[in-house]
Chains A and B, each alone.
Chain A
């Protein structure tokens, strides 16, 4: 979240799209209801009418996978009706910059497309700079090549008729949402968007969010109280695991994972350190070398020295251009290329797309380690339905793990709030924390390397490896201090102008990432977390102060929010060029005298009106402004509607390009697609229900199972009538990849769409079920139906839109 949960209450209009907030974030939903109490409009746009819709002002049904068409229409509406927050758009976004003459967009394709590779070369996706390297700007926004005019041109095609015909949303409903949300473009209004997996689980997942970011920038809704783009994260610590690099392509703190050709630290720093010559751009990522070196020092401690590039050569490197998302891993596994596999706290045989391929892939492993609090379909794949254990050679280890309340440590919520939690009970029998399990495995690996040498022992044997308490157990506090960062040799920061002198002693915790050094005198496992301890070692994550000086629910004394306890990021954008809040009733920040008062500001610099020292508010961007034109994406700088890999249409109504041109399609015999195929005529989407956790370890909990005992398909009354399916009846759901049997839940909450003049039905199924528990349950994993294809930026699979058939069982 750019903002935080409590801040939802400050909003004037909350668009919940791509999220079922009430069902999947029931605790957070109270803040949405607080906003409603204040008179905010709450809008739910979703294929299904859910428990969220029930508590919103109104629900707008939309066909799965057409969010960009819907949002593109909103961009057009906002521009055509001049609903933008003009000062904000001019000075805080790149709307005024001039797009390169080489850039073009024709019939669904941007310039630079290589059809053979299915990839874009992005060289033409740039804006012009002057000789000094400073972006050329037209603050009148009239230049036909300025971003604003190019944006207008791009979305000209997204007319109400067209959008309605693609999305299935009536024109009345489109206008209702566009007008209501567009009204937050007023200087004293804030609109926010809550999304979750309903936006990421698409072949255009990242661009769904980009489209909304553009809307938020046009309306001046970023960096303000009650605004922002708010990803509601899944289980309590998904934010934390992302921050600490659960994905293959990042290092902790979102530093880039190096690739093979970037074989020296100097090359790595040159490649990823952001550059800007604009004196009004803070260009925060110019500090990249400090965070990189401090990270290397955290991993290899005293063994990381300037002479050995702080151990850079010991970091694993990605093969250039290769990806290793979970879909790639299982593709390789199915091809027999993976020997061993750790499934840590996950149940991929249920949660991954294309279950048939996943379970067959697991059978090709030599060994697998599953760490979990219960047995699951992954650990027991060798005895699953249709598998003869005698034919499976995989050696499987199921290690019993401590559950979340059985261990101490930090936990990060979606609002970047990192809270310390305490152990409530000991884990049962020989179950232990993930930390203890990992340390024991690594101890054994290190012993082997010590004894046997091995091909490349340095990264293993040189590790800083002192995270135990007095009894030899994993010590979460020690790890947290290392993540925060420590002073590794004494140093002094002296400011001769201000006459200040700061002294840092070896062993102290680093109080802020602004104090991290690139010369090896600091360590930090994750620069974003620097400041979670103060210099004396006080753990700020344990703070529980309830003061709320701004009245906006920032609670600065409650735990620690990265970065630097800033509750709303890019908060300087909440003020005008003089530093006065756009909305005086929601005073998040204000420039008073010579300093900012309110939230922790995004840097100390004066507002932009100060031509000498003032800085643009979007400090993480090289040019300091919000990116309406976003050249970093895999499939183009402006979001464009493409149909899901499987949909009801043979032709994209907006261009000749049916699917995302940059999509990665796997080629195994089990990767099959059926687009606009009459054998699979119904759109299907998948999700999780409130009562179960993802792949369903909650199925072991009798009270939860009693409430949601078995798999079901939600099916609209009209379709049920057409297929003569009765409520509660057993039915079969089939895609080209697989088939499952479940209960029909016939409902008024799913309605047919009119798409390009034809009636299209959509159905939906939860993915929480498998075969292992409850006993004798039919194998009803919804992911037998889904395909392993996903967003080319994140490789998030397209769980939310594919085609099925439904029949009586």
Chain B
């Protein structure tokens, strides 16, 4: 890892214009799917195999009775200790030289283990291709020394990318400027994420954002204790099946469900 990068998401500057959401689809050539308005600006309702980043809209009344409209750009956090990379039986998911987590789609066998291992519910399964997909921080753009599409599209400077240390310094400076409940989110768990938030509100206020994210214990046990032996004995498919059994037991996850409540439309 010669140049660890961090994408900084300063939610205090986000206007929820969703330029990032569209730019992501455009650069990564992800199709739109039919949606309905379900009583929210948020759409699609959740991350999907074809939606790698999403602005979450949330109305929140703080302890003083003041209405806040919270916008959070959701997407892969690019963990250092990445559950998805850890459990991937075929090394389809891997760390790049920038610290981000990328995917070799041709190696993905659709075992969905990464979905269970991710503390942020990021990887999504496409049943037509039998593969998972997720944000790769625009790896090919980073290789060409270009910012990710979302960062390029952001008009207000809510999204920035740069060398990890510089970005973290910036993040802490901004959180201090904002004061109140503002905090930095991302550097204190899973050995640090390569996407870091400046959150103007307390962490627990945000929907779908774990307060203390971690990889399920069963996966740590498997990966660090059992898997080394298992991989010697079996091919990727077999290992995946076994892993699946270990982590979930005999029950198969609902093929149609992309994550909690988020039906693929």
Contact = CB atoms under 8 A, between A and B. Distances in A.
Contact of B36 (A689, A703, A710): A710
B12 to A, nearest CB: 8
A745 B22 contact: no
B162 interface: no
Nearest to B44: A706
B69 interface: yes
Interface string B106-123: 000000000000000000
Contacts of A743: 36-39
Interface in A584-612: none
Nearest to A751: B67
B68 interface: yes
B67 to A, nearest CB: 6
Interface string A685-702: 000011100000000001
Contacts of A711: 37
B59 interface: yes
B25 interface: yes
A678 to B, nearest CB: 28
A97 to B, nearest CB: 44
Interface string A709-735: 111100000000000000111000000
Interface residues of A, number: 39
Contacts of B13: 33, 55
B15 A22 contact: yes
Contacts of A747: 59
A49 B69 contact: yes
A334 B32 CA distance: 40
A485 to B, nearest CB: 36
Contacts of A727: 38-40
B43 interface: yes
B70 to A, nearest CB: 8
Nearest to B71: A54
What's the dominant secondary structure at chain A's contact region?
mixed
A743 B32 CA distance: 21
Given A22-B17, A30-B157, A709 B22 contact: no
By DSSP majority rule, is chain B's interface helix, strand, loop, or mixed? loop
A27 interface: yes
B69 A690 contact: no
B37 A23 contact: no
Which of B18, B33, B37 has the most chain A CB atoms closer than 10 A to its own CB?
B37
Contacts of A401: none
A710 B155 contact: no
B31 interface: yes
A697 to B, nearest CB: 16
A188 B251 CA distance: 70
Interface string B64-89: 00011111000000000000000000
Interface residues of B, number: 33
Nearest to A58: B66
A749 interface: yes
Contacts of A774: 34
Contacts of B41: 689, 708
A747 B69 CA distance: 10
A709 B26 contact: no
A709 B25 contact: no
B248 to A, nearest CB: 31
A378 interface: no
Contact of B17 (A23, A702, A706, A746): A23
A745 B16 CA distance: 17
A316 interface: no
A728 B39 contact: yes
Contacts of A703: 21-22, 25-26, 32
A29 interface: yes
B19 A707 contact: no
A537 B195 CA distance: 50
Contacts of A744: 39
Contacts of B212: none
A704 interface: yes
Interface in A102-134: none
Nearest to A689: B41
B61 interface: yes
A27 B157 CA distance: 10
B17 A690 contact: yes
B43 to A, nearest CB: 5
Q: Which of B35, B61, B67 has the most CB of A within 10 A?
A: B67
Nearest to B33: A706
A621 B37 CA distance: 51
Given A30-B155, A33-B157, A707-B43, A54 B15 contact: yes
B66 to A, nearest CB: 8
Nearest to A706: B32
A282 B246 CA distance: 87
A744 B39 CA distance: 6
B32 A705 contact: yes
A33 B10 CA distance: 13
Given A51-B16, A747-B59, A33 B43 contact: no
Contact of B156 (A29, A59, A705, A746): A29
24 contacts: A23-B17, A27-B155, A29-B15, A29-B155, A29-B156, A30-B156, A33-B13, A54-B16, A689-B41, A702-B31, A702-B32, A705-B35, A706-B44, A709-B36, A710-B36, A711-B37, A728-B37, A729-B39, A743-B38, A745-B39, A746-B39, A748-B59, A748-B61, A774-B34
Closest 5 CB pairs of A and B: A728-B39, A702-B32, A727-B39, A706-B32, A26-B17
Interface of B: 13, 15-19, 21-22, 25-26, 31-41, 43-44, 59, 61, 67-71, 155-157
Given A728-B37, A748-B59, 14 more contacts: A22-B17, A23-B17, A26-B156, A49-B67, A54-B16, A59-B67, A691-B18, A703-B21, A703-B25, A705-B32, A706-B35, A709-B35, A745-B40, A749-B69
